[in-house]
Amino acid sequence: MFIFAVTTKPTIIMKKLITLLLFVACVVTASSQPLRNPVIPGYHPDPSVCRVGDDFYLVNSSFQYFPGVPIYHSTDLVNWTLIGNVLDRDEQLPLKDATSWTGIYAPTIRYNDGTYYMITTNVGNGGNFMVTATDPRGPWSAPIWLQQQGIDPSLWFEDGKCYMVSNPDNTIMLCEIDPATGRQLTESKALWQGTGGRYPEGPHLYKKDGYYYLLISEGGTELAHRLTIARCRRIDGPYEANPDNPLLTNCSVAGQSMQIQGTGHADFVEAADGSWWTVFLAYRNMGGSYHHMGRETCLAPVEWPTSQWPVVNGGNPIDTVMQVRTLAPQQPQYRYLHTTFDGQPLGPEWVHLQNPIAANYRQHDGRLVLTAHGTLTENRQPTFVGRRQESDVMTIETEIDTDLLDFGTEAGLSVYQIHTGHLDLGLVKYQTGSVAVVQRSQVMSLQHEVMGDDSGHLQGKVRLRIQSDGSRYMFSYSTDGFRWKQVAEQDCQLVSTEVVGGFTGVVLGMYAEGEGSAAFNYCTYYE
């Protein structure tokens, strides 16, 4: 038996122990923050990021929308500000007949020797190309077209050389190019086909501790999406697969109950403090296994010990709230955007379907005058201007002066997912002069419409409003701005990717169809 003699009073020991525990708790609390995913909500798929000094720049794919490739800025990776769109001229972005299955696929942004590079694929209108700028806010150059095809091209700069990777024939291929002209300088060489998952794509190269690392996505951009990685001492291979692949997937026992699913298509970035991070896409199920807001941009920490394989989020699945040692506190965002039409250009959040016909969009006397061209369902440069839905709970509202609504014209607000999947609330002016309010639904080949109670008797200024609680859209109108009458409500699932397809997410906006023009007094979006 051992007997210890205690000469210090027990109360003093307890006080010191409590002080130590409080100090440890404070350190842990100060270094860990709640990280809420997505960090860029709504339709913002295929993120790519680069760091220049203390600044991070991130781009997303944009498919059939113009302008294309939104570009965001951050100093901490968790709080992002939209600063423009990379492709904002017709010469950069031909979108003839583009749908949310085609158009601009996954871009990559890189910086080298004073120049920013954005490389991407225009599916259906030209293939792979890149543009350059000395300021990420633009202007960006005319397209530099590239020979090696496949989708999701990426760049790697080293020792005065520029390498390109993409995935022709479901194989990650490498070649050297001239970054000034796009001319291919070497034959394309196969690097890796992944671990056997379908659609090996989204390749990015990195170099760390003497290894070249090749990060890709597999499984398709749905439930089975996942990240895998391989490495080699030489850039041209042969590449050895990580024995612990996949690096990230929520298609697992641990991740199957998460709201976030479809995690994949990532890019790594090193912060100034030496920490590593990954941005990647994922979607949030909104009631059952349906998602309508699109694939969104998420963030997770990466542990990358010297000469070892990287580990994403400690090997755990991604949740909507995670306790993470972020670079800075994440600020809550509750967006309120009240847009008036005073002659100033619309902000970078506003986009069109395909290349807009400029004459059909003009501001006059404090109003936005939209001239109809075809229909949303026909998808031939329809008259539409909208912004991404970035919260499941939101409201969008506008006002139309029926006295300025032309005969034979329908105008209003649309919940737009794809040309075969949209929910509209509009005013129609018949040749008799009467004005009706109608809620129309286009769900694949099915069409449905509901008329408002006052149809045929509306006069003066009429407000239209679409609200969402995350599971339903409610369509209402008002003739005085105070009393609202609901026309219809529809399930959000009707415009989900699982029902109507497409690679995008809901965009909310103003449209005009038929034979004439309509004047919108304002548009307000808030969450």
Which residues form the catalytic set?
Answer: 46, 201
Tokens of 142: 């005319």
DSSP symbols for 393-412: EEEEEEEEEGGGSPTTEEEE
Write down the residue that tokens 């003066």 correspond to: 460
Helix (H, G, I), strand (E, B) or coil at 216: strand
Strand partners, 211: 208
Task: Determine the Cα–Cα distance for residues 352 and 379; give it in Å rounded to an integer.
Answer: 11
Please work out, in degrees rounded to the nearest 5, the angle formed at the alpha carbon of residue 183 by the alpha carbons of 181 and 188.
145
Tokens of 442: 């286009």
Pick from 484, 431, 435, 481: nearest CA to 455: 435
Write down the residue that tokens 């291929």 correspond to: 173
Task: Determine the Cα–Cα distance for residues 68 and 404; give it in Å rounded to an integer.
Answer: 32
Name the amino acid, one letter, at 351. V
Question: In the sheet that 311-312 helps form, which strands lie side by side, from edge to edge?
Answer: 260-270, 276-284, 296-303, 311-312
Write down the residue that tokens 């929308």 correspond to: 65
Q: Length of the chain, please?
A: 527
Which residues lie below 8 Å from residue 426, measured CB to CB, with a gap of 6+?
410, 411, 412, 413, 437, 438, 440, 464, 511, 513
Which residues lie below 8 Å from residue 491, measured CB to CB, with a gap of 6+?
471, 472, 473
Task: Determine the Cα–Cα distance for residues 231 and 247; give it in Å rounded to an integer.
Answer: 13
Write down the residue that tokens 């860990």 correspond to: 32
Pick from 173, 175, 234: nearest CA to 201: 173
Q: What is the largest CA-CA distance in the chain?
A: 106
Which residues lie below 8 Å from residue 21, measured CB to CB, with a gap of 6+?
none
Which residues lie below 8 Å from residue 442, measured CB to CB, with a gap of 6+?
376, 377, 420, 421, 422, 423, 424
Task: Determine the Cα–Cα distance for residues 467 and 448; give it in Å rounded to an integer.
Answer: 19
Q: Residue 98, CB half-sphere, CA atoms under 13 Å: how many?
A: 28
